Amino acid sequence: MSIISTNYFDSPSNNSLSLHDIQCFDSAVGRYVVTAISLAYILFILPVSVFVLYLGFQQWKQCSLSGATVTYSDFFTYNMAVIEFIGVFGYAFNYCSTYAKLQVMLIVGAFLWSFIWPAQTLFPILTCVEHYLAVVRPITYRGLRQAGGVRIRNIITGSIWLICFIWGIFVILLVDHYYKRVIAAFVLILSLIVTVFCSLSVLRVLIRPRPGKVGRDRVQIDQSKRRAIHTILIIMGVLWLKICGNVITNVIRFSTQLIARCVAEGLAFLVILPSSLVLPLLFLQRAGKLPNCKHITGAG
């Protein structure tokens, strides 16, 4: 998302730090947009992230006593909550920079809120893949729950953190926004393809159940499959929203009207916000903290 003008980076020594293509930072409308986006993100994301991390700490203590393992979905959600917590600081710097007008604060804020974008897409995709394996490839899934699978999970998670860091640097240093948009579009489309594949595979297993289970066992298995397809469809819906929203806002950004371009930034935020909330809210539902959504839970 681009909400800061390049006005602060007009000196020859800082041309490589041309962060954004929207010149609304110094306008009254731009300041309202930046303030609204930053405060909304902080008010929505901070309480949810803190609550998820608190519940995660409680679960970690219980698992330490019982010897149980944390599910992959929960593990991905904890990482997502930490990254969103970092994003809160980014938007806080972003908000303060609208008034302090300090270049360092601007750069730090831009890096931190750019840092979270890959995680908002990749961790939900990993959650979809986990549900796919749990339903369609149960033997493989059980094998991945062992020590070797945990190592793979940790390596993949560490790689996502590295990608987030690289993307943050990439957004700050790259002048040509065309390449950033192409990469972002490629990642979103690839992620959508993965979720569609996972949802169709799980739906096929749900429609054509395997023989061998009867009675209560069959009912429990079918319920688990339904929970998996519900979760995957929710994540796929969020990705569709993100893709459609990005297309619309990028079209608006070509407008010659400053107000239209600034409003596009607000719309871009609205389509990003569900990506930040989807995993934490699904986790809170699995933990029984969202009693009105009892039919949507996680795998395993």
Question: What pLDDT is stored for residue 25 in this prediction?
Answer: 60
* 229: Cβ contacts below 8 Å, ≥ 6 apart: 131, 199, 202, 203, 206
Question: What pLDDT is stored for residue 20 in this prediction?
Answer: 45
Q: Which of 135-144, 155-164, 268-277 has the lowest mean pLDDT?
A: 268-277
pLDDT band at 176 (very low <50, low <70, confident <90, very high): low
Q: Which two tokens stand for residue 55?
A: 């519940």
Query: Which whole number is the average pLDDT over 191-218?
Result: 76
Q: How far apart are the first and last CA of the chain?
A: 35
pTM of the prediction?
0.83
Report the C-alpha gap between 225 and 223 in whole angstroms: 5
Query: Which whole number is the average pLDDT over 289-297?
Result: 60
If you count them, how many residues does the chain have?
300
CATH number belonging to domain 7-293: 1.20.1070.10
User: Residue 210 above 90 pLDDT?
Assistant: no
Q: Which two tokens stand for residue 221?
A: 């298995």
What does the mean pLDDT of the chain come to? 79
Q: Where are the domains of the chain?
A: 7-293
Alpha carbon of 225 to those of 26, 151, 172, 229, 239: distances in Å? 51, 26, 43, 6, 21
Q: Which two tokens stand for residue 44?
A: 């929505």
Report the C-alpha gap between 225 and 205 in whole angstroms: 8
Residue with tokens 């909400």: 3
**pLDDT for 76-131, tens place per residue?**
999 999 999 999 998 888 788 777 777 788 788 888 988 998 999 999 999 999 99
